Amino acid sequence: MTDDKVRCFGADDPLYRRYHDEEWGRHVPDSPDERAMFERLCLEGFQAGLSWLTVLRKREAFRGAFDGFDPARVAAFDEADVERLMADPGIIRNRAKINATIGNARALLKLHDEGLRLTDLIAEHAPPARTRPPLTFDDVPSQTEGSVALSKALKKHGFRFVGPTTMYATMQAVGMVDDHIAGCWLSAAPSRG
């Protein structure tokens, strides 16, 4: 089913279109365990070097393989779980990214033990709101001073696969940056929260 809405991306694929229209650039639901934010961080890490559409198509399999991205459960994964995940054709089978996801769950739990929240840490480094939407994706940076600083802060806390470009993409995905292009039906929306 198509419509006449103009989109920044995703118009040619129903899954991608739904992601653009209903999720990208919107704030994630909050919870004490920060499960939704943890999922986004992990999936952005898995996306590194690949198409986001590839990750979207595997998202439900990722959720099943990683126990719904419950940080406490993922933090308890061991080498047998790594081997199980490496044998799962439904996900991206990259040992370094799988190990990083498990390590990031442990880092997130440690962050919580220190009285800190991932959501707050990301928000701290988000750039100021734009006064007008970017005209093209050429006007959208791949990283910013804030995403570089966030990457360093997360690495200091033990997170991996959190480079500056991945962190900027995370900020975009979770609504801390609004990079809908001028002309996109969402770029003029007063509130998408």
Is 52 annotated as catalytic? Answer: yes
Is 44 annotated as catalytic? Answer: yes
Is 185 annotated as catalytic? Answer: no
Catalytic residue among 16, 24, 34, 44: 44
CA separation for the pair 78, 89 (Å, rounded) = 19
Contact present, 108 and 74 (Cβ < 8 Å): no
Catalytic residue among 16, 19, 24, 168: 19
The dihedral built from the CA positions of residue 144, 190, 44 and 111, taken in this order, carries a sign that is positive
| Residue listed under structure tokens 């089978």 | 93
Mapping DSSP to helix (H, G, I), strand (E, B) and coil, where does residue 59 land? helix
| 12-18 LR contacts (CB < 8 Å, sep 24+) | 13/53, 15/53, 15/56, 15/57, 16/52, 16/53, 16/56
Catalytic residue among 24, 34, 39, 52: 52
| Residue listed under structure tokens 């044998």 | 87
| Residue listed under structure tokens 């006449």 | 4
Q: Is 132 exposed, middle or buried (0-12, 13-18, 19+ CB in 10 A)?
A: exposed
Q: Active-site residue numbers?
A: 19, 44, 52
